[in-house]
Amino acid sequence: MDMFGIWFLMGAALVFFMQAGFAMVETGFTRAKNTGNIIMKNLMDFCLGTIAFAFLGYGLMMSDNYFLGVIGIPDLDIFFDYANFEWSSFVFNVVFCATTATIVSGAMAERTKFSAYLIYSLILSLIVYPIEAGWVWNPEGWLYQLGFIDFAGSAVIHTVGGISSLVGIKFLGARIGKYVKDPDTGKIISKAIPGHNLTIGALGCFILWFGWYGFNGAAATSLEGIGGLGSIFLTTTIAPAAASLSTMAYTWIKNGKPDVSMTLNGSLAGLVAVTAGCATLDAFGALMVGLVAGILVVVSVEFIDLKLRLDDPVGAVSVHGINGIWGTLAVGLFAVEGGLFYGGGTDLLLIQTIGIGSIILYTAIVMIIFFALIDRLHGLRVSVEEETVGLDLSEHALDSSYAGFAMTSMDIMPAMTLNSELEIDQLENQPVTLSDAIPIINNASVDTKITKVTVVTNQAKFYQLKMALESIGITGMTVIQVLGFGIQKGQPEYYRGNPVTATLLPKVKIEIVICKIPTNVVVDTIIQTLYTGHIGDGKIFISDVENVYRISTNEQGYDALQD
Cα diameter, the chain: 97
pLDDT for the residue 504 = 66
Alpha helices (H) along 227-282 = 229-255, 260-275
* Strands (E) located in 489-537: 493-495, 498-500, 504-514
pLDDT over 80 (residue 91): yes
| Separation of CA 12 from chain center | 25
The confidence band for 488, taking pLDDT boundaries of 50, 70 and 90, is: low
Cα distance between residue 240 and residue 272, in whole Å: 9
Per-residue pLDDT, 441: 38
Among 293, 324, 292, 29, CA closest to 162:
324
Q: Which residues contact 465 (CB under 8 A, 6 or more apart)?
A: 455, 457, 510, 526, 529, 530
Query: Which residue pairs, CB below 8 angstroms and at least 24 apart, start in 529-536?
Result: 529/432, 529/461, 529/464, 529/465, 529/468, 530/455, 530/457, 530/461, 530/465, 535/488, 535/491, 536/385, 536/457, 536/458, 536/486
Q: How far is CA 421 from CA 143, 190, 312, 382, 467, in A?
A: 43, 11, 17, 19, 16
The string of pLDDT tens digits covering residues 141-183 is 999 999 999 999 999 999 999 999 999 999 999 999 899 888 7
Closest CA to 159 of 333, 362, 17: 362
Alpha carbon distance 449, 433 (integer Å): 26
Question: How many other C-beta atoms can be found within 10 angstroms of the C-beta atom of residue 558?
Answer: 19
CA distance linking residue 85 with residue 74, whole number of Å:
13
* Range with the poorest average pLDDT among 156-165, 183-192, 290-299: 183-192
> Do the beta carbons of residue 380 and residue 179 sit within 8 Å?
no
Give the residues across from 112 on adjacent strands. Answer: 381
Distance of alpha carbon 373 from alpha carbon 358, whole angstroms: 23
CA–CA separation, 240 and 336 (whole Å): 19
% of the chain beyond a pLDDT of 90: 67
Quick one: CA dihedral 515, 521, 525, 526, positive or negative? positive
pLDDT at residue 416, as a whole number: 45
Decide if pLDDT at 47 tops 90: yes
In this structure, which amino acid lies at residue 386?
A: E
Can you tell me whether residue 93 is helix, strand or coil?
helix
Q: What value does the CA radius of gyration of the chain take, rounded to a whole number of Å?
A: 28
The pTM is what? 0.79
Residue 498: predicted pLDDT: 55
pLDDT of residue 400: 79
pLDDT tens digits for range 247-266: 999 999 999 999 999 999 99
Q: How far apart are CA 155 and CA 359, in angstroms?
A: 7
Given this model, what pLDDT does residue 412 score? 46
No. of helices (H) and no. of strands (E), the chain: 22, 12
**Per-residue pLDDT tens digits for 404-451:** 765 554 454 444 444 444 444 444 444 444 444 434 334 444 457 899
For residue 542, give the 3-state DSSP assignment: strand
- Cβ proximity of 466 and 534 under 8 Å: no
How many Å apart are CA 456 and CA 467, to the nearest integer?
A: 16
pLDDT of residue 550: 87
Most confident of 71-80, 132-141, 381-390, 509-518: 132-141
CA atoms within 13 A on the CB side of 421: 8
Region 202-219 average pLDDT: 96
Alpha carbons within 13 A on the beta-carbon side of 390: 28
Candidates 20, 462, 46; CA nearest to 201 is: 20
Tell me how far apart the alpha carbons of residues 316 and 310 are, in angstroms, rounded to a whole number: 12
